[in-house]
């Protein structure tokens, strides 16, 4: 059985008991989480979130990319989000390569020129969290009155460590 077939079976079981269809699109707890797509992170379980509680934006590295900012602007402007949490993690694959490495690999393996893509790798997870929190705090489209903070999730223990304390934008 293909993995997608297993997923579809699980979804049928999930849908049989689903009772949360009437919840609004706005996050009930007024928060958005930007975190990594790493399979070892389950943001809902790690943060005690239920369906409808938060917007969760996931990408490689949990980076505050242009697309993450696009989603956050919509979450804040259209759906009432008042707080953003950036969560990156230990043992992140984004620390294992540079843009030049990825560009060369794609050229070698696929004959593709990806030199225009910034994959947003980083050597230091705490520095990356600080950079991304600052990017949000200084973005003119995020607006005033939004609380932004940053953390590192330890994939070995499940614990969060604060890197940037919550601060509300002016």
Residue 158 binned pLDDT confidence (cut-offs 50, 70, 90): very high
**8 or 143: which leads in pLDDT:** 8
pLDDT, one tens digit per residue, over 58-80 is 999 999 999 999 999 999 999 99
pLDDT, one tens digit per residue, over 37-53 is 999 999 999 999 999 99
Q: What is the mean pLDDT of residues 2-7?
A: 98
Q: What is the mean pLDDT of residues 25-29?
A: 98
Residue 170's pLDDT is what? Answer: 84
Q: Are 55 and 81 in contact (CB under 8 A)?
A: yes
Q: Which residues pair with 86 in a beta bridge?
A: 34, 150
**139 token code pair:** 């973005």
d(CA 56, CA 84): 10
d(CA 37, CA 40): 9
Q: Are strands 147-153 and 54-59 parallel, antiparallel or unpaired?
A: unpaired
Residue 30's pLDDT is what? Answer: 98
Q: Are strands 160-168 and 147-153 parallel, antiparallel or unpaired?
A: antiparallel
Q: Is the pLDDT of residue 1 over 90?
A: no
Residue 59's pLDDT is what? Answer: 98
Q: Going by CATH, does the domain composed of 24-95+123-168 fall within 3.40.1050.10?
A: yes
pLDDT, one tens digit per residue, over 110-150 is 999 999 999 999 999 999 999 999 999 999 999 999 999 99
Residue 6 binned pLDDT confidence (cut-offs 50, 70, 90): very high
């Amino acid at each position: 059985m293909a993995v997608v077939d297993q997923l579809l079976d699980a979804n049928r079981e999930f849908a049989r008991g689903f009772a949360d269809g009437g919840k609004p699109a706005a996050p009930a707890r007024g928060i958005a989480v930007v975190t990594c797509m790493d399979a070892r992170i389950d943001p809902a379980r790690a943060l005690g979130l239920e369906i409808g509680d938060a917007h969760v934006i996931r990408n490689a590295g949990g980076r505050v990319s242009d697309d993450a900012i696009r989603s956050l602007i919509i979450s804040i402007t259209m759906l009432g989000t008042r707080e953003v949490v950036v969560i990156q993690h230990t043992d992140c694959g984004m620390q294992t390569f540079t843009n030049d490495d990825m560009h060369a690999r794609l050229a070698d393996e696929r004959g593709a020129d990806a030199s225009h893509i910034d994959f947003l790798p980083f050597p230091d997870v705490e520095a990356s969290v600080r950079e991304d929190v600052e990017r949000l705090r200084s973005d003119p489209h995020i607006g005033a009155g939004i609380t932004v903070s940053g953390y590192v999730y330890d994939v070995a223990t499940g614990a969060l460590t604060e890197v940037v304390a919550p601060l509300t934008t002016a």
